[in-house]
Amino acid sequence: MAFTDALIDHADGARVAMVDRRHGAGGHWLEAYPFVRLHQASLFYGVASTPLGDGLVQHRGPETGLYERASKFEVCAYYESILNNRFLESDRVELFSACEYLGDRTFVSLVSGEQFEVPERCRIVDAHYLAPRIPAETRPPFDVADDADDARVIPVNDLARLGHSADEYVVVGSGQTATDACVWLLSHGVDPNSICWIRPREPWMLNRAMVQPADGPRRALSGVGVGVGPRQLSHSRCRAGPAGPSPAHPEASQVPPGSWSRPTLDR
């Protein structure tokens, strides 16, 4: 969407058809876990034409003095607004949601099965290679022992929908998703001794207080740091702090000025 936003600003007359397998705008944020937030200030994220958020400074909690970070729901609402109030209102952009690009200049609706062919005069831009893989849509790359009768493997999304507590939580991964899972469990009263954090590698983490919009606060955070030493992989301790997800963009095809409209597609 950032590419499309820039295109309609700087390429006079260009028209764009965005093809996305998801049901609407927002990319992987539509499937993200409910307690995820941006890993950076909201002002750093989104499309160039429209700021995300109000540029507010937080006044409570461990990030007091730092700029706001949008929640999943705020990010989704932002992209929905960009789609409806900027892209579609321009009459130069159309979204083909719930569609899959098949290659050979063809895409198909995952709902109706209707197929569309992109004319040769149109240029196809593949933005899908930037899309991240998220646990909610990916099978875990490991198995659970057959004798582990009480063990369940769930994506982090399901932590917010647990029907009962567990004796122990095993969190696998070293990125933001795993870190957020640990922080969320701790914030809901889970004993650190009941969390086992398995990290396949040591993460690099930035001090968010030092990565703020211009003239922003530079207060060092306290109590949000993460221990990354090998000895802290102990089964009995979990120390965590937020990192961040990668932005995602829907698949998009760029159309030269005046060369495309929906009725001209061969079906």
Name 142's Cβ contacts closer than 8 Å, sequence gap at least 6.
Answer: 172
Pick from 113-127, 159-173, 199-213: least confident = 199-213
Does 146 fall in a domain? yes
Q: Does 128 share its domain with 9? A: yes
Q: Which regions of the chain does DSSP assign to beta strands (E)?
A: 15-19, 93-96, 99-103, 106-109, 115-117, 123-125, 169-172, 195-198, 252-255
For residues 136 and 125, give the distance between their C-alpha atoms in angstroms, rounded to a whole number: 26
pLDDT digits (tens, 9 = 90+) for 49-65: 999 999 999 999 888 99
Q: How confident is the model at residue 256 (pLDDT cuts 50, 70, 90)?
A: very low
User: Do residue 122 and residue 253 come from a single domain?
Assistant: yes
Residue 200's domain comprises 137-233
Residues 86 and 185 placed together within one structural domain of the fold: no
Rounded to whole angstroms, the Cα distance separating 160 from 149 reads 22
Q: Which of 209, 135, 138, 211 is nearest to 173 (CA)?
A: 135
Same domain, 77 and 116: yes
Residue 267 falls inside a structural domain: no
Helix (H) or strand (E) holding 102: strand 99-103
- The answer to whether residue 13 is domain-embedded is yes
The predicted model scores a pTM of: 0.76
- Structure confidence at residue 215 (pLDDT): 62
Instruction: Write out pLDDT tens, residues 156-175.
Output: 999 999 988 999 999 999 88
Same domain flag for 8 and 114: yes
Domain membership flag for residue 45? no
Same domain, 218 and 120: no
Give the tokens for residue 94.
């159309």
Say how far apart CA 162 and CA 188 lie, in whole Å. 12
Q: Is residue 166 located within the same domain as residue 214?
A: yes
- Per the structure, how many domains does the chain have? 2
Q: Which of 226, 198, 182 is nearest to 141 (CA)?
A: 198
Q: Would you say residue 52 lies in a domain?
A: no
